[in-house]
Each structure stands twice: as C-alpha cells, then as structure tokens.
C-alpha cells in the first residue's frame, strides 16, 4: 500500500566523503574565490566577456565587414586623406610647428581684441608687413601657396 505523499519537502542528500575534502579546500580559499567570482561575474554581466568571445568566434565575419566597409570609395578617400595628414604632420619639425601654433594662437587672440571699427590704411598695412614676425609668416604662406601649384608649373 503506497499512500499518496503530500509532504514534498526533501531531506538533504548525504554528501560523499571525497566531496567533503574538496569543499573544505574550497572553503579555506573562499575570500579569494569570491573576489575572483565577483570580478568574473562583473565581466560577464557587463557583457565584456560575451563581446570578446563573440569577436573571437566571429573574427572572419568581423574582418570581412570592416574590410568591405573600408574598401568603399568614400571610406578609401577618408583613409587616404587621413594618411596624408599623418604624412604632412610627421614631416614638420615639431619646434617650427610649436612656434607656428603658438603664434597662430596669440594672433587669433590679438585679432579678436582689435576693435572691428578700426580701419587699416595702406601705410598701416605696409608697416605691419615690415614687422619681422609678419614678414616671416607671409614668407611661409607664399611658400605653401607655391607648393599647391600644379607640378608642371613648378618646373
């Protein structure tokens, strides 16, 4: 006779001895394990772990999309122009660039402070040009402008 069992609360299983040994060892390092688990949990819950795993697992797709996108004309132009800017910037003596940027900054500030109503006559313009700083700047600008001319004209 097997009467219906309505009491469904279950007794805990008896642990096997070897499991107890393992558990004891684990318990002695509980703080470290917990800290490690928390960090792991954060990495996982923040999605970083999934993201890294996904990138690695799908590297072929990712690479293909990046390459496809990069090889579009508009993006190729962007990359090449970005590289030209890199070449340009890397060829300039940093001291010259530093002075140039410093002066440019000061000039902008000074220009802002000049009253817009002040007129500039021919004589005043001539005296500004004759100032050594201005003359040097104009020399550089003219050099740059001549550099922009078509190759054949340069010859």
Partner 1 sequence: MKGEKISIMMDGKKYEALDGQTILQVSMQYGFDIPHVCYHPSLGSIETCDTCMVDVNGKIVRACSTPVSNDMNISVTSEKVLNIRKEATQRILHNHELYCTVCDNNNGDCALHNTVDQLGIEVQKYPFEPKPYPVDDSNPFYVYDPNQCILCGRCVEACQDVQVNETLSIDWSRERPRVIWDHDVPINESSCVSCGHCVTVCPVNALMEKTIIGRAGFLTGVEGKTKRKMIDIVKSVEPEITMGPVMAISNIESKLRKSRIKKTKTVCTYCGVGCSFEMWTNGREILKVQPQPESPANGISTCIKGKFGWDFVNSSERITSPLIRDGERFRKATWDEAIDLVVSRLSQIKEKYGGDAIEFIASSKGTNEEAYLMQKLARQVFGTNNVDNSSRFCQAPATTGLWRTVGYGGDAGSIQDIYNADLVIAVGTNTAESHPVLATRVKRAHKLNGQKLIVSDLRKHEMARRADIFLHPKPGTDLVWLSAVTKYIIDQGWENREFIRDRVNGFDDYVKSLKKFTLEFAEEITGIKKETLVKVAEYIRDAKRVSILWAMGVTQHQMGSDTSTAISNLLLVTGNYGRRGTGAYPLRGHNNVQGTSDFGAMNAYFPGYQSVTNDEIRKKFEKAWNCHIPEKPGLDNNTCLEGIMNGKIRAMYVIGEELVETGSDSNFIASQLETLDFLVVEDIFISETAKFADVILPACTSLEKEGTFVNTERRIQRIYRVMDPLPGTRPDWEIIQSIARGMGYDWDYRHPSDIMEEAASLSPIFSGVNYERLEGFKSLQWPVSKDGNDSPFLYEKEFNFPDGKAKFYPLSYTPPLSVDSEFDLHLNNGRVMEHFHEGNETYKSPGIKEIVPGTFLELSPELAEQRGLSTGDEVRVISKWGDARVTVLVTDRVSGNEMYMPMNSSGDSAINRLTSRLMDPTAHTPAYKELPVRIEKISGKRKQSPLPKSNPRNATPNPQVGVLVEEKWKRPDYEELTSG
- Binding of partner 1 by 19 (CB under 8 A): no
- Single out the residue of 58, 81, 107, 127 in contact with partner 1 (rule: CB under 8 A): 58
Q: Among the residues of 15-131, which ranges form H helices?
A: 17-28, 30-45, 48-57, 59-70, 73-91, 94-113, 122-130
Q: Cβ closer to partner 1: 42 or 101?
A: 42
Measured from the CB of residue 20, what is the shortest distance to partner 1 in angstroms? 16
Residue 119: burial class (beta carbons within 10 Å; 0-12, 13-18, 19+): exposed
Which pair of tokens denotes residue 24? 């004891």
Cα distance between residue 119 and residue 125, in whole Å:
10
Count of chain residues binding partner 1 (CB under 8 A):
30
3-class DSSP state of 58: coil
Sign (positive/negative) of CA torsion 49, 53, 58, 59?
Answer: positive
Q: Which of residues 68-87 bind partner 1 (CB under 8 A)?
A: 68-69, 72, 74-75
136 binds partner 1 (CB under 8 A): no
Measured from the CB atom, is 37 or 52 closer to partner 1? 52
Binder among 37, 62, 83, 97 for partner 1 (CB under 8 A)? 62
* Binding footprint of partner 1 on the chain (CB under 8 A): 1-13, 47, 50-51, 53-55, 57-58, 61-62, 65-66, 68-69, 72, 74-75
């Amino acid at each position: 006779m097997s009467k219906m069992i309505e009491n469904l609360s279950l007794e805990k299983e008896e642990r096997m001895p070897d499991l107890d040994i393992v558990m004891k060892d684990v318990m002695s390092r509980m703080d470290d394990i917990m800290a490690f688990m928390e960090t792991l949990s954060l990495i996982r819950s923040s999605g970083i772990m999934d993201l890294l795993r996904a990138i690695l697992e799908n590297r072929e797709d990712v690479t293909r999309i990046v390459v496809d996108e990069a090889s579009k004309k508009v993006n190729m132009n962007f990359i090449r122009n970005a590289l030209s800017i890199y070449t340009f910037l890397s060829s300039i003596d940093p001291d010259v660039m530093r002075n140039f940027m410093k002066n440019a900054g000061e000039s902008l500030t000074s220009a802002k402070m000049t009253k817009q109503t002040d007129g500039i006559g021919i004589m005043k313009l001539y005296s500004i040009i004759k100032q050594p700083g201005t003359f040097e700047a104009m020399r550089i600008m003219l050099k740059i402008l001549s550099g922009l001319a078509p190759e054949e004209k340069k010859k």
